[in-house]
Structure formats: C-alpha cells, structure tokens
Structure 1
C-alpha cells in the first residue's frame, strides 16, 4: 500500500496537508480498510478548537466506532458536508473527496510522519 507523499501522517492513521496556516484532515487508506464500510461521521463543528492527540469526533463503520483524533492544534474552519451526507466517500477516496475537515493550524506536533515513515509504521503494526 502506498501513501501520498504530499501530506503528513499520525499514529492514529489520519493525514494532514498544510498550506500556510490552513490544513485539510482525513483518514488513511489503512484506516479506511481496517474500519470497513463507513456509515456515519460525527465531525467537529466549525469554530471548535481542537488539540493534537485529543478526540474531536467519531467515525462509525459496519464494524466499529472509532475516535477521530486531531492531528494538530487549531480551529476547525469547515467540514466536508459531502462526506457527512455520503460517508462511503471516505472509503472510496480517503485522500481527495473523502477528506473530513479543514482547520487553521496554530501548532503542528513534532511526531508527524512522512509517507515513508508512515508506511514503515503500518508495516510494523501488521507484523
């Protein structure tokens, strides 16, 4: 499995792309496959302050309910209404159409991984 190299990844299997102070957040293909069919998203609200490593929502699949964990500190600017209305978008295209929310980043944690490091991390979890 390969991961886009234009973003950073967390140990919680989420990705973040940062452009200046604005970032887009989603889950990885690894997470999408592990979850199974996504059926419901409970995303943070616009204006919410989120903190890196803290729960900010939930993603429900046919298999389980998992926490969404903020990859950075900041304020939620928008949510992907298309993904909320059609959660299967997250499974079909987690890196483009299936993004979850955007945020204004106030601080990025130092433990974010690039694509190669994340691939190694995932390989270690599968072993």
Structure 2
C-alpha cells in the first residue's frame, strides 16, 4: 500500500517536472523565432523560415498543453525571469508560492535535446512529444 506522503511527494515531483518542461517549451518557441530573425541578417542560399516556424509552433503547442495540465493539477506559474546565469520561476502549487531555479546552460542543452527529438519525430512522421 502506498503511503499518502509518498504519493503526495511523487505528485509534487511530477508537477516540478511539468514546470521544467513548461519553461523549456516556452523558452524554445521564443528563441526559435529570434534565431529565425537572426538568419535574415545573413544572405543564405535557401530560406529556412518554414522550418523555424514549424518548430516554434510545435514548441508553443506543447507549452500550452503543459500549461493546461498544470492548471488541472492546481499549479500556476506566476513569474519567470532570467537572473544572471540562472532562470528563476515562481509558481503557486496548492496554495503555496514556490520557487525553482534553473541553470541557463542546462536549459539551453535541454532545448537542444528537444530540437533533436522534434527532428527525429518529424522524420518518423510523429508530431507530438509530451
């Protein structure tokens, strides 16, 4: 039999993972559009706008889907902002205001991994990864 404490802790860990993914997808869909604008400053042989736009839309859809899951669990991101080498997130979880701090370098690496997953899922004809 599972102790109520353990299941509550497990639920909190799942919510923290959802928050991390919510932040990742939020960063990803904005950064991809910034990167697309940066490519417009360089003369390229081909245009990659459709790839950037599709990746950004995919990340935005994932971001909103995770937001819905968090809200269903009573968890709301209140604020998120870059502070030096970290990304600080304040969220409300079952009435308590909590804070999570992430390394920007780790978030960047995880965003790269999301892009790799997106590319491989598109090669296999899949569209969503949650």
Using the size of structure 1 for normalisation, the TM-score is 0.33
**Larger Rg over CA atoms:** 2
Which structure has greater helix proportion? Answer: 2
Structure with more contact order per residue of length (Cα contacts < 8 Å, sep ≥ 6): 1
Using the size of structure 2 for normalisation, the TM-score is 0.32
Which structure has greater strand proportion? Answer: 1
